[in-house]
Amino acid sequence: MLKRLLVFIGFFAFYLANSQNKGRFCDQLKALQKTVTTNHYLPKAVDDSLSTHVFDLFIQSLDEEKRLLIQSDIDALDDDRFKLDDYIKNNNCEFIDKYINLVSKRIESGKTILASLEQESFDYSGKDTLRFKPDLEYNYLKDEAAIKRFWSKRIRYNILYSLIETDSVLKTIKADFITTEKELKPKLIQKEICKLNELQNQLGSIDLYVKELFLNAYLHYHDPNSSFFNSTEKDMFENALSNDAYSFGIITAKTDAGDIIIAHITPGSAAFNDGNFDVNDIIKSLKTDFETLETYCVSNNDVLAFTTDEKHNTVTFKIKKENGAIKDIKLTKTKTKIEDNTVSGYIIEDKSKVGYISITNFYTDLESPNGLGLANDVAKELYKLQKENIKGLILDLRFNGGGSMKEASDLSGLFINRGPLSILKYNNGETYTIQDVNSGSLFTKPMVILVNNYSASASEFFAATMQDYNRAVIVGARTHGKASAQVILPLDENENLGFSKLTIEKFYRVTGQSHQSKGVMPDIELPNIYDNFKTQEQYEAYALKNDSITGVINFPRLKSLPIVELQKRSTARVSSDISFKAIKDLNRLIIENYFELDTEYLLTLDNVYRELINYHNRWEAINKPINNHVSEFEVKNSAFNKENTSNNAEKKRMNQSLLQEIKQDIYIGEAQTILQDLLNLNPLN
C-alpha cells in the first residue's frame, strides 16, 4: 500500500510540476506578445504570416545542422505552419509538447545509433563517398538508416582528421593505423554522444530549452536583435557591458577531450587571491548549498551560466590538478573589474608621436546614476597621452559590437564642440535629436578610426558622427549595419517569466541618412579577411530596412579632410604590400573552402590526407608574411601605465605581449601611416 501511495505521490508531483511548466510557458508567450505589441519598433500582426515565419525559425533552431530530425518529422510538424497564430491567440500552449517529445526522441535515437557504431567495423576502402557543399544546400535526411550512414561517415572522417592532425607523415599513419584507429574510435563516438547529452541538458532540461527556442523564434521574426533572456542570460549580458561585476574571476574553456578547464584567472579576482587555482586545472563539478553541476558532458555555456547566476554567490569547485590531485575549493564572488571592459592608451613613435586606444565595447556603470563608463575612461587615457605630447590619435573599434548609446554620445562629445549627434526614431514615428550640449573638446588633434565588418551599433554611431563632422578619417572595412537600439524589459513585473531584449528605436546620422543594413563606409578601405563572408546585418533574416529621415538639421561640420589624397597614398602602399596581398589570398582560400566548397571524393585515408595537407600547406604559405609582419615604429606605454605595470609580474607580461601585438598588427601599421600623412598634409594640426 505504501509503495502504491509513494508511486501516486510521485506521479502527482510530476503532473503538478508539468502542469505548472505548461502554465508558465503560456504566461510567457502571452506576456511576450503584449510586450512586443506595445514596445517593439515595428510590431507585426499575429496572423498566418507570423505563423509560417516563426514556424520556419523555430524548426531551424531545433536542428540547425539538419542531422537530428528526419524528413518525415518535418512533414508531420508542417501541419502547424499556419496554426501557431491561432494557438497564441487562443492561449493554447500544448502544441509545444510535440516538439519537446520529438526532440527528446531524436536525441535518444541519435545516442543509440552512435553507440551501435562502436560494435561495427569501419570501412576506409573507398566504398563510401564524402560530399562537401555549402550548408544552405543540405536537406533533412530521409530516415534513421540515413542518419546512421551520416554518423558512420562523420566518425570515420573525424578519425582520419585526428590522425592526420597528430602526425602529418602518411607512411607513419598507415603503419600504426589499426592500433590508433581502434583507440580513437570509441573516444570520438563518445564525444558525439556527449554533445547530444549537452543538448538534452541545455538550461537544465530539454523542456525549458525548446520553449525558450520558440520564444526566441517569435522575437527573431520581428528583427534579428530582439531575443528572449532568462534571468541568468540577462545577468551575463549586463555583466558583459559593465565596468565591473561580482564574479569568481575564472574563465573556462572546453577541451577536445571534453574537459572543462580553467583557461584564465583574472588578476585581483577572488580566484587569483585565493591562490589555489591554476590555469589548466580541470573543473569536475560546481556545488552550492542547493544545486550541483557535474561537468561531464556539459557545455561550457552551461558552466558559464552556473558561475554567473547571481544566486550562486558561493560555490565549491571540485578541481583536478595536472598532477592528478583532487581538491575542493570554496570560493565567494567579489566585485571584479571586467578585463575586456578597460581601456589603455599607448604611444606609437615614428615620424611623429601618436596615441593608440583600443575600445572593445561601449561599457557603462549600470549602478551609477551618472553611468560613468567607457567615455570617462577614455577621457582619463587621453589626459595621460596628451601629457606625452601626442600629435594625433588612433581609435580602434574593430570587433566592437556596441553597448551603451549614452557612452557613444559621451565619447563623441570628447572630440567635437557641441552639436547634434544622432536622430532617434520611435515606433510612433516621433523623433528626438541626441545633442552634445557641452562646450569645448577634450581632444582636437587629427584622428583615425579603425573599423571592420564586426564594428556594430554604438561603434557605428560614434564612427558615423565623427565622419559626418569631418572629425576623423574612417579606415578599414564596411561596418556591420546595425542602427537600432534595444532595451531589456521584464515580461511581467510580478512574476519571474524572463525578459525580452527588444528593439524599440532606430537611430539616424545627423545627415538624416541611416547605416541600417548598409553599414558605415570607411573613407579608406583596406583588404579584409572577412570580405564576402556575409556576416553583416543586411544578410540577416528579418533585418530592419534602410531608410532616411527628411528635414535638415544644421550642425557645425568641420573643414573637409584630404580624403582623396589619403586614399591615393594608401592604395599605392597597400597594392605593393605582401602582407595585404596575403590577406586577400587568405580571404579567397577561406571562401573557396567553406562558403563555396562543392566537392566529393572517396572516403579513404589517402584522399582525406591529400585534401587536408593541401589546404594546410596553402594556409601556412599564405599566412607566413602576415605572421612575420612587424611595423618599423616603436610602441610604448604612457609614463603612468608604465609605472602601473612595473611592480606586477603578470601585468608586465601581459603588457609586453600587447605592445608586441600592436607592433605586428598590419592594420594599425597602415592606420598610423595614414595618420602621419594627415599630419603632413595639415601641418597646422
| Of the candidates 73, 75, 99, 95, the residue with the CA atom closest to the CA atom of residue 84 | 95
The C-alpha angle with vertex 154 and arms to 149 and 155, in degrees rounded to 5, equals 100
pLDDT of residue 440: 87
pLDDT of residue 319: 96
Per DSSP, the three-state class of 125 is coil
**Helices vs strands, H then E, count in the chain:** 21, 22
User: Mean per-residue pLDDT for 2-26?
Assistant: 49
pLDDT of residue 11: 37
Lowest mean pLDDT among 23-27, 60-64, 178-182, 680-684: 680-684
pLDDT of residue 132: 87
Burial of 332 (0-12, 13-18, 19+ CB in 10 A): exposed
The C-alpha angle with vertex 404 and arms to 398 and 408, in degrees rounded to 5, equals 65
| Of the candidates 169, 195, 164, 193, the residue with the CA atom closest to the CA atom of residue 181 | 164
Grid-cell match 504570416, residue found: 49
DSSP 391: S
CA 614 distance to own-chain centroid: 30
Spell out the residues 6+ positions from residue 24 whose beta carbon is closer than 8 angstroms to its own.
Answer: 497
CA 276 distance to own-chain centroid: 31
Q: Which residues pair with 394 in a beta bridge?
A: 356, 448
What backbone torsions phi and psi does residue 455 show, to the nearest 5 degrees? -80, 120
User: Mean per-residue pLDDT for 429-436?
Assistant: 94
Residue 74 C-alpha cell reads as: 518535418
pLDDT of residue 12: 36
User: Could you report the per-residue pLDDT of 623-670, keeping only the tens digit for each?
Assistant: 999 988 988 899 999 888 777 776 777 778 888 999 999 999 999 999
139: left (phi over 0), alpha (psi -120 to 50) or beta: beta
Of the pLDDT bands very low, low, confident and very high (cuts 50, 70, 90), residue 9 is very low
pLDDT of residue 648: 75
What backbone torsions phi and psi does residue 130 show, to the nearest 5 degrees? -95, 130
What backbone torsions phi and psi does residue 616 show, to the nearest 5 degrees? -60, -45
> What pTM was estimated for this model as a whole?
0.91
Question: By the 8 A CB rule, do 201 and 15 touch?
Answer: no
What backbone torsions phi and psi does residue 327 show, to the nearest 5 degrees? -130, 145
User: Could you report the per-residue pLDDT of 324-360, keeping only the tens digit for each?
Assistant: 999 999 999 999 888 888 899 999 999 899 999 999 9
Residue 217 C-alpha cell reads as: 523564434
- CA distances to 45, 584, 677 from 302, in Å: 35, 38, 50
What backbone torsions phi and psi does residue 547 show, to the nearest 5 degrees? -150, -170
At residue 579, what is the residue type? S
Grid-cell match 569536475, residue found: 284
CATH superfamily membership of 244-337: PDZ domain (2.30.42.10)
**In the predicted model, is pLDDT for residue 616 greater than 80?**
yes
Per DSSP, the three-state class of 670 is helix
Alpha-carbon distance 218 to 26, whole Å? 13
User: Could you report the per-residue pLDDT of 485-542, keeping only the tens digit for each?
Assistant: 999 999 988 768 999 999 999 999 999 999 999 999 999 999 999 999 999 999 999 9
User: Could you report the per-residue pLDDT of 461-493, keeping only the tens digit for each?
Assistant: 999 999 999 999 999 999 999 999 999 999 988
At residue 505, what is the residue type? E
Q: Which long-range contacts (CB under 8 A, 24 or more apart) does 129-136 make?
A: 129/600, 129/601, 129/602, 129/603, 130/157, 130/600, 130/601, 130/602, 130/603, 130/607, 130/608, 131/599, 131/600, 132/597, 132/598, 132/599, 132/600, 133/597, 133/598, 133/599, 134/595, 134/596, 134/597, 134/598
Question: By the 8 A CB rule, do 195 and 158 touch?
Answer: no
pLDDT of residue 652: 83
pLDDT of residue 8: 34
pLDDT of residue 684: 54
Question: By the 8 A CB rule, do 423 and 506 touch?
Answer: no
Burial of 177 (0-12, 13-18, 19+ CB in 10 A): middle
Q: Which residues pair with 494 in a beta bridge?
A: none
Per DSSP, the three-state class of 228 is strand
User: Mean per-residue pLDDT for 552-563?
Assistant: 92
Per DSSP, the three-state class of 546 is coil
Of the pLDDT bands very low, low, confident and very high (cuts 50, 70, 90), residue 135 is low
pLDDT of residue 21: 59
Per DSSP, the three-state class of 526 is coil
Spell out the residues 6+ positions from residue 566 whose beta carbon is closer than 8 angstroms to its own.
Answer: 473, 523, 524, 674, 677, 678, 681
Alpha-carbon distance 435 to 421, whole Å? 5
**In the predicted model, is pLDDT for residue 437 greater than 90?**
no
What backbone torsions phi and psi does residue 97 show, to the nearest 5 degrees? -60, -40
User: Could you report the per-residue pLDDT of 562-594, keeping only the tens digit for each?
Assistant: 999 999 999 999 999 999 999 999 999 999 988
- CA distances to 162, 188, 673 from 256, in Å: 11, 10, 42
Alpha-carbon distance 186 to 180, whole Å? 11
Lowest mean pLDDT among 61-75, 229-243, 357-371, 516-530: 357-371
Alpha-carbon distance 471 to 412, whole Å? 10
Three-state SS sequence of 251-271:
EEEECCCCCEEEEEECCCCHH
Percent of the chain's residues with pLDDT above 70: 95
What backbone torsions phi and psi does residue 353 show, to the nearest 5 degrees? -90, 120
Which class would CATH give 345-560? alpha beta
Residue 590 C-alpha cell reads as: 577561406
What are the domain boundaries of the chain?
2-220, 244-337, 345-560
Lowest mean pLDDT among 95-104, 294-303, 462-471: 294-303
At residue 253, what is the residue type? A
Per DSSP, the three-state class of 313 is coil
On the question of a common fold for 244-337 and 345-560, the answer reads no
Mean pLDDT of the chain: 92
What backbone torsions phi and psi does residue 260 show, to the nearest 5 degrees? -90, 120
